[in-house]
């Protein structure tokens, strides 16, 4: 008999015994002899059950202490007071069941394993959702952009030569860059935890995307890096002179983009700088904040701040001390290959060590079309501290 079959039979026998006990109690007005007959039948059933328990224990070398644990029904039937009541020798029966916990073969309790993995910190990638996305099928992207425009349109005197305007273009080439990383994981670890592989994929994917965002903002275009907003020639620097605080500098950035005939869309700041600005007092001893005087508002239940009417995108990928204001159409990120996570067994000595190489990789190019539509300011150079 298998363990499953025995457990099923055991459950059925207990059920039958309990049903017979109910039937006996319903016939409590009958003679003691009838109780004695029923009791004998129950005793016989219990003996058969104990013999099967002993047989199973001997076959499977199971601890006798565990197999001899008796049900509540068995303990009641074996009590002398209940036997006396069933035999008709007394008018009531009382049984005291001790609350005893047996832990045969293990002196300590089993630990409780929670599913999954408690994750580490994942940096919020708030900048890339504000960047236009495009695609490319090549290893470099060429595009033409306007380099100079002089509007010569003017009133004309009849018979005179018309005014001439100037419009020139330049060819720009941005190479597609690869951003990648890898880790090695044992095959046993991946096999023993179904959640581990998905968590590793999430972590590797986030690592690539985080690096892409950081380079879109501050990549200098040197070597194999992207040419980001803060790269020389990709933005316009606004002097913080003659401003008394961050709010004045931010207004200058916004107005500079408008003066350049573009439309400002977002401010970008490091949370550290925004925290200082947000809690600046209007004056010594004044409990009111500067931000409460009209420069700052909040939307999305206070989650998204507005500075001079523009959303403030907070990101740890923005360098501390730098504020950026940008027209959303000033640039585009061209995807060559979106972030892909792959696993390889055939890498180095993986086969010998039973390892798997997990690689995360993305390819793309950052295309900054208009430097006049991306303006930046140095917060640390403000003449009057925030």
Share of the chain above pLDDT 90, in %: 47
Domain boundaries of the chain, sorted by first residue: 3-86, 128-135+178-381
Would you state the structure tokens that stand for residue 319, as one six-digit string? 């360098």
Compare 17 and 230 and report the one with higher pLDDT: 230
Would you state the structure tokens that stand for residue 341, as one six-digit string? 């996570």
pTM: 0.68
Neighbour order of strands in the sheet with 355-368: 133-135, 331-344, 355-368, 177-186
Q: What is the pLDDT of residues 75-98, one digit of tens each?
A: 666 777 767 767 767 766 666 655
The mean pLDDT value of the chain amounts to 82
Q: What is the pLDDT of residues 240-263, one digit of tens each?
A: 887 888 898 999 999 999 999 999
**Angle between helix 32-60 and helix 3-26 axes, rounded to 10 deg:** 170
C-alpha distances out from residue 193 to 112, 185, 385, Å: 16, 12, 53
The CATH code that applies to domain 128-135+178-381 is: 3.30.2400.10
Q: Is the pLDDT of residue 141 over 70?
A: yes
| CA pair distance 307, 294, nearest whole angstrom | 9
For residue 173, give the nearest of 146, 144, 142 by alpha carbon.
142
Compare 195 and 334 and report the one with higher pLDDT: 334
With beta carbons less than 8 A apart as the criterion, state whether 127 and 134 touch.
Answer: no
| CA pair distance 308, 255, nearest whole angstrom | 10
């Amino acid at each position: 008999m298998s363990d499953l079959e025995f457990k099923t039979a055991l459950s059925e026998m207990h059920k039958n015994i309990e049903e017979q006990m109910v039937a006996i109690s319903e016939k409590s007005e009958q003679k003691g002899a009838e109780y004695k007959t029923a009791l004998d039948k129950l005793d016989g059933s219990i003996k058969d059950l104990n013999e099967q328990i002993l047989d199973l224990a001997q076959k499977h070398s199971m601890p006798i202490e565990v197999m001899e644990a008796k049900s509540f029904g068995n303990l009641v039937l074996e009590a002398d007071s209940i036997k006396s009541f069933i035999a008709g020798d007394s008018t009531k029966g009382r049984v005291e069941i001790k609350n005893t916990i047996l832990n045969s073969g293990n002196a300590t309790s089993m630990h409780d394993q929670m599913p999954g993995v408690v994750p580490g910190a994942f940096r919020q990638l708030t900048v890339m959702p504000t960047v236009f996305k495009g695609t490319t099928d090549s290893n470099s992207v060429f595009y033409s952009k306007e380099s100079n425009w002089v509007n010569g349109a003017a009133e004309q005197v009849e018979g005179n030569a018309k005014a001439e305007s100037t419009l020139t273009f330049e060819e720009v080439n941005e190479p597609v860059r690869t951003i990648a990383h890898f880790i090695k994981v044992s095959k046993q670890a991946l096999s023993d935890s179904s959640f581990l592989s998905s968590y590793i994929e999430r972590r590797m994917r986030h690592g690539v995307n985080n690096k892409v965002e950081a380079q879109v903002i501050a990549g200098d275009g040197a070597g194999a890096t992207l040419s980001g907003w803060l790269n020389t020639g990709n933005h316009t620097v606004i002097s913080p002179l003659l401003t008394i605080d961050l709010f004045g500098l931010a207004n200058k950035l916004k107005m500079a983009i408008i003066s350049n005939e573009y439309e400002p869309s977002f401010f970008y700041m490091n949370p550290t700088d925004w925290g200082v600005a947000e809690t600046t007092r209007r004056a010594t001893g004044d409990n009111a904040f500067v931000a409460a005087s009209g420069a700052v508002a909040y939307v999305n239940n206070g989650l998204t701040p507005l500075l001079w009417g523009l959303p403030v995108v907070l990101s740890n990928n923005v360098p501390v001390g730098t504020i950026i204001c940008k027209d959303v159409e000033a640039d585009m990120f061209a995807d060559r290959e979106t972030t892909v996570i792959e696993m390889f067994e055939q890498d180095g000595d993986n086969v010998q060590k039973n390892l798997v190489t997990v690689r995360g990789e993305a390819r793309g190019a950052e295309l900054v079309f208009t430097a006049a539509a991306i303006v930046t300011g140095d917060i640390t150079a403000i003449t009057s501290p925030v």
